[in-house]
């Protein structure tokens, strides 16, 4: 007769989470590093009590914003290469829906996070309860239904025994390399407190190790044949390279077969920056070198990438008439995009098998040599944009140069939205694997500081530098206080261009008048003069505002020895950006407008979309 343990549903959930393990460098460790919690009605009495009892085995962290704590949890999982993760619990109503944006971010980026929002009473005795969303035609709807389209797995637990299959399915999704993403278990608040006789086996330690599916023999031979016949092969390294821990195998593959490579935002820092064949960023925010060769490539080996529009130049970058794509991906949905030859496999296992199938084959030497020359030329161009300047308002690129010059090889740069990701993608030179942490799949303003906190939690030994614009800072800055509270030091560089400079430039590029992006172009009675340094200091950080690049470098050097989070603020030029490199991006322009500038932009747009190769 099997043994049972009588627990509340919330207690059983927390105990099960504590029993899930993984192996990191041969050492067994908890797969859940902790649970972020902002308590309210709907989770304070049920899961709150359970977390208190388990506070030594499953630490609970308090944040200041529900979306931000989920961002921190997601960043932790990304920096942990999806090997470890965190959970987040909230009250019902606004606490829960505050996490929906973060769930979408995790969904787009294929990152694991366990979301545990409180829900309405399953019994419906007090119906409608405080904060309950009432659907006039469906009594089963609650606010948590918002999570359904942005969760890989969603379940609402309306009986305590439903936890048994639901948690098993949740763990299967969270640890699956192909289906990985956010899981939402909506916890009806009365059911959290109800007891059930759970099987003791549910609380036994279970070790989850990465699944590494090998390639199918027929797909492998087809992919190898395409590469053997290629004259101008090119590799696109996506985030899947990092998650598979395939960076060494990929570097050996490119070097052995003489194939140049470019990196997506998620894949950047997977390849050694010094390698002659690593041409850096690819796509809309790509380098001249990577985009030049990608545009001529006859076979593109896309590894662990979704091939989103910023990577493909809205499907106008890979322009060779007969070009073929080989999609090496654990997820068949991604591997077969755009009529690609699928190679469904773990990146590390797939690359090893593909290299063995190719044997001594190498790309033509003139193609490999050209890649090295293009890289040297680009490095000289990039150096001019990042060089120090004495101008009152430096560009983002010049600030990036200053940050780079004060960095150590092990430092991690964190960013997310606006113009900075494009500049960093082109110009930043990571010193080590994982040294570049950009959230650009969802391009979510407000991720930066919370994300930096999650990265620091994943690896406290590394120095974390967060670069954030004034617009993103104003959207979400509360986790500066959390970093102080937890003793997790960040260095935050705030670039103040007085508005949404990136979208202002895009607005003008599509023929629009400057409108509602920069503060000066928005409806106002008085232009705000925001003292970001004083604000950061009020949250507990050490802060300073600097005037120019020389002062910035001095402040960053000093910040390295600070014991607490440091914030350095610098005014920047809202108009300047790196005009070298890059590629066209499909942003639709109005067919009809009263502005001649829009009509001119529409004419250019129609010529550009004619070059798209979607479906070809």
pLDDT tens digits for 274-321?
A: 999 999 999 999 999 999 999 999 999 999 999 999 999 999 999 999
Q: How confident is the model at residue 616 (pLDDT cuts 50, 70, 90)?
A: low
* pLDDT score recorded for residue 614: 67
Question: Which tokens go with 408?
Answer: 């150590």
For the chain, what is the radius of gyration of the CA atoms?
A: 25
Counting every residue written for the chain, the total comes to 616
Q: What whole-number distance in Å separates Cα of residue 455 and Cα of residue 63?
A: 15
Q: Which of 176, 167, 318, 159 is nearest to 234 (CA)?
A: 318
Q: What whole-number distance in Å separates Cα of residue 446 and Cα of residue 477?
A: 7
Q: Are 447 and 105 within 8 A, CB to CB? A: yes
CA distances 423 to 385, 391, 417, 518, Å, are 10, 19, 11, 19
* Class of residue 302 by CB neighbours under 10 A (exposed 0-12, middle 13-18, buried 19+): buried
Return the number of other C-beta atoms located less than 10 Å from residue 506's C-beta. 15
Q: Are 56 and 34 within 8 A, CB to CB? A: no
**Does this model's pTM top 0.95?**
yes
Question: Please, which residues bridge with residue 491 across strands?
Answer: 465, 566
| Phi then psi dihedrals of residue 187, to 5 deg | -105, 100
Mean pLDDT across 175-188: 97
Sequence-ordered alpha helix ranges (H) in 63-198: 66-79, 94-97, 100-109, 163-174, 189-192
Q: Are 74 and 106 within 8 A, CB to CB? A: yes
Sequence-ordered alpha helix ranges (H) in 258-395: 288-296, 309-312, 332-335, 347-358, 365-386
What percentage of the chain has pLDDT greater than the value 90? 97
Say which DSSP state 320 is in. -
604: part of which helix (H) or strand (E)? helix 596-609
CATH 3.40.50.1220 fits 217-377, yes or no: yes
Q: How confident is the model at residue 389 (pLDDT cuts 50, 70, 90)?
A: confident
CA 493, distance to chain mean position in Å, is 19
Quick check: 327 pLDDT over 90? yes
CA distances 339 to 233, 603, 613, Å, are 17, 30, 11
SS3 473: helix
Question: Which tokens go with 259?
Answer: 């194939």
Q: Do domains 217-377 and 388-571 have the same CATH topology?
A: yes
pLDDT per residue as tens digits for the range 227-238: 999 999 999 999
Q: Where are the domains positioned within the chain?
A: 4-208, 217-377, 388-571
pLDDT per residue as tens digits for the range 79-98: 999 999 999 999 999 999 99
Mean pLDDT across 181-187: 98
CATH 3.30.2320.80 fits 4-208, yes or no: no
Q: Are 86 and 113 within 8 A, CB to CB? A: yes
Quick check: 1 pLDDT over 60? no
- We find that the CATH architecture of domain 388-571 is 3-Layer(aba) Sandwich (3.40)
pLDDT per residue as tens digits for the range 576-614: 999 999 999 999 999 999 999 999 999 999 999 998 886
CA distances 612 to 316, 321, 487, 607, 615, Å, are 4, 11, 50, 10, 9
Quick check: 391 pLDDT over 90? no
Quick check: 493 pLDDT over 80? yes
| Phi then psi dihedrals of residue 153, to 5 deg | -140, 135
Mean pLDDT of the chain: 96
Count Cβ neighbours within 10 Å for each residue of 398-427 and write b for 16 or more, e otherwise: bbbbbbbebbeeebbbbbbbbbbbbbbbbb
| N- to C-terminal Cα separation, the chain | 62
Sequence-ordered alpha helix ranges (H) in 432-476: 447-458, 470-475
Q: What whole-number distance in Å separates Cα of residue 431 and Cα of residue 274?
A: 9
Residues contacting 136, CB < 8 A, separation 6+: none
Say which DSSP state 527 is in. -
């Amino acid at each position: 007769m099997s043994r049972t343990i009588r627990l509340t549903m919330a207690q059983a959930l927390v105990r099960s989470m504590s029993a899930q393990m993984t192996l990191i460098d041969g050492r067994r460790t908890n797969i859940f590093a902790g649970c972020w919690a902002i308590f309210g009605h709907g989770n304070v009495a049920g899961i709150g009590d359970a977390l208190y009892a388990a506070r030594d085995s499953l630490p609970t962290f308090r944040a200041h914003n529900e979306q931000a704590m989920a961002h921190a949890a997601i960043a932790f999982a990304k920096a942990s290469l999806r090997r470890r993760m965190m959970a987040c619990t909230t009250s019902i109503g606004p606490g829960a829906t505050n996490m929906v944006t973060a769930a979408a971010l995790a969904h787009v980026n294929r990152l694991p996070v366990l979301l545990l929002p409180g829900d309405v009473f399953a019994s419906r005795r007090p119906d409608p309860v405080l904060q309950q969303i009432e659907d006039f035609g469906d009594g089963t709807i609650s606010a948590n239904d918002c999570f359904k389209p942005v969760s890989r797995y969603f379940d609402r637990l309306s009986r305590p025994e439903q936890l048994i299959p639901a948690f098993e399915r949740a763990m299967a999704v969270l640890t699956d390399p192909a289906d990985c993403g956010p899981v939402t278990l909506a916890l009806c608040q009365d059911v959290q407190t109800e007891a059930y006789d759970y099987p003791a086996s549910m609380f036994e330690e279970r070790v989850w190790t990465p699944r590494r599916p090998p390639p199918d023999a027929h797909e492998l031979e087809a992919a190898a044949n395409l590469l053997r016949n290629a004259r101008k092969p090119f590799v696109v390294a996506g985030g899947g390279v990092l998650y598979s821990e395939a960076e060494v195998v990929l570097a050996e593959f490119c070097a052995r077969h003489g194939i140049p490579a470019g990196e997506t935002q998620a894949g950047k820092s997977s390849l050694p920056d010094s390698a002659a064949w690593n041409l850096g960023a690819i796509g809309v925010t790509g380098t001249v070198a990577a985009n030049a060769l990608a545009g001529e490539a006859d076979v593109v080996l896309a590894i662990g990438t979704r091939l989103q529009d910023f990577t493909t130049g809205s499907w106008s970058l890979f322009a060779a008439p007969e070009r073929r794509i080989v999609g090496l991906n654990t997820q068949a949905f991604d591997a077969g995009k755009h009529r690609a030859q699928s190679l469904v496999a773990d990146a590390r296992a797939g690359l090893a098998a593909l290299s063995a199938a190719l044997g001594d084959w190498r790309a033509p030497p003139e193609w490999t040599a050209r890649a090295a020359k293009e890289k040297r030329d680009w490095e000289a161009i990039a150096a001019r944009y990042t060089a120090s300047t004495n101008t009152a308002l430096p560009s983002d690129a010049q600030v990036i140069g200053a940050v780079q010059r004060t960095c150590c090889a092990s430092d991690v740069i964190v960013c997310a939205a606006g113009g900075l990701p494009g500049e960093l993608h082109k110009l930043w030179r990571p010193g080590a694997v994982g040294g570049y942490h950009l959230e650009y799949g969802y391009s979510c303003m407000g991720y930066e500081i919370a994300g930096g906190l999650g990265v620091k939690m994943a690896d406290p030994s590394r120095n974390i530098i967060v670069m954030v614009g004034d617009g993103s800072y104003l959207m979400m800055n509360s986790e500066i206080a959390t970093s102080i509270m937890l003793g997790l030091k960040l260095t935050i560089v705030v670039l103040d261009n007085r508005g949404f400079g990136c979208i202002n430039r895009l607005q003008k590029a599509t023929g629009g008048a400057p409108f509602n992006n920069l503060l000066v172009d928005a409806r106002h009675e008085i232009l705000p003069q925001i003292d970001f340094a004083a604000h950061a200091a009020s949250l507990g950080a050490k802060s300073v505002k600097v005037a120019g690049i020389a002062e910035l470098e001095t402040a960053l050097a000093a910040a390295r020895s600070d014991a607490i989070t440091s914030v350095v603020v610098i005014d920047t030029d809202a108009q300047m950006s790196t005009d070298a490199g890059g590629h066209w991006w499909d942003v639709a322009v109005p067919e009809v407008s009263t502005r001649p500038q829009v009509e001119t932009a529409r004419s250019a747009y129609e010529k550009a979309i004619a070059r798209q190769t979607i479906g070809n």
